[in-house]
Amino acid sequence: MNMNTVLRRGLQGLLSLALVAGSGLAATQAAVNDAQVLAPSGVLRLGVYRGSPTSIIEGATPREARGVAYDLGRQLASALGVPCETVVYPANAPLLKALQAGKVDVVFTNATKERAQHMDFSQTFMSVEKSLLVPQDSPLKSLADANRPGLKVGVSRGSSSSEELLKVYPQISTQAIDTLQHAAQMLAKHQIDAFGTNDAILYQMSDKVPGSRVLPGHWGMENFAAGIPKGRQAGMPFLRRFMAQAKADGSVARAIERADLRGTVPASSDRHMHRRLGHGDATGG
């Protein structure tokens, strides 16, 4: 082998190393940029609200906490390479207001058209049926029995459930309740005839209200996605890749199982969700 061949191969090797190094640097810079967009303070502030397995069920210690949002949020922070700060709110309404105000960086919540006006959503990763929880000795045996005058159904304050329920059951009245704990107390005391929300919450509440029952079937659906504040759209490609990977590698399924979340069904298609939110075809990201 002559000297020219040796030099040529050596230069080719150095060029290959430079290309690999450059690719690695570009990937590192992209990861840094994603973190700066999605967690601009250097810490991912994960917003959750207590009492729901879709969000967080607090334990005696932080290690004992569980919930789909809690688990996925911590994994998202790890993927971004930043610490995770869990910010717990008493209910969903103040949590969503905090996200709109930029006080938290990400939530995992029902992606509705109204909410999409104030935040940007990833694709759907989980769908949960909505039903009614009724107290012991309730005359309601099925959802078909619910459309009757004078029936008082509790809903979470600031949720979309009241408007949706009244479209399905125009003869009922709804009462907004500040927290899920208060709702369970009112149900146990028969101060409301039923409570309406997603089944994940209803089954969690039923464990605390002896004799209560979740009525079979559903009157609506909630389609969960990751939500970020407006103005951070540049981070959406990373967020969408993260959610796709979380579904593919079983992270979503494990979070659902660990939270003992009941009432889930196969998630609505990504294309369907984006059309429902008015975003057109999902391929636009």
Q: What is the DSSP letter of 142?
A: S
CATH number of the domain within which 149 lies: 3.40.190.10
H-run or E-run covering 154: strand 152-156
| Containing structural domain, residue 279 | 39-127+222-284
- Does residue 5 form part of some domain? no
**Long-range contacts (CB closer than 8 Å, 24 or more residues apart) made by 238-244:** 238/34, 238/37, 238/38, 238/80, 239/38, 239/76, 239/106, 239/122, 240/122, 240/123, 240/285, 242/75, 242/76, 242/79, 242/122, 243/122, 243/123, 243/125, 244/123
List, for residues 26-75, the tens digit of each pLDDT value. 444 455 799 999 999 999 999 999 989 999 999 888 789 999 999 999 99
Quote the pLDDT of residue 159.
83
Quote the number of domains for the chain.
Answer: 2
Mind listing the pLDDT tens digit for each residue in 224-235?
999 999 999 999
Give the pLDDT confidence score for residue 61 in this predicted structure.
84
Residue that is last in its domain, among 182, 200, 220: 220
pLDDT tens readout for residues 192-210: 999 999 999 999 999 999 9
CB-based contact 220:276 (threshold 8 Å): no
pLDDT, tens only, 92-126: 999 999 999 999 999 999 999 999 999 999 999 99
Q: Which among 220, 239, 268 is the end of a domain?
A: 220
CA atoms within 13 A on the CB side of 40: 11
Answer yes or no: do 212 and 232 share one domain.
Answer: no
152: helix, strand or coil: strand
Question: Are 227 and 212 found together in one domain?
Answer: no
Q: Could you tell me if 85 and 215 lie in one domain?
A: no
**Main-chain phi, psi angles of 223, to 5 degrees:** -115, 110
**Mean pLDDT estimate for the chain:** 86
Mean pLDDT of the region 237-253: 97
Domain boundary among 182, 197, 220: 220
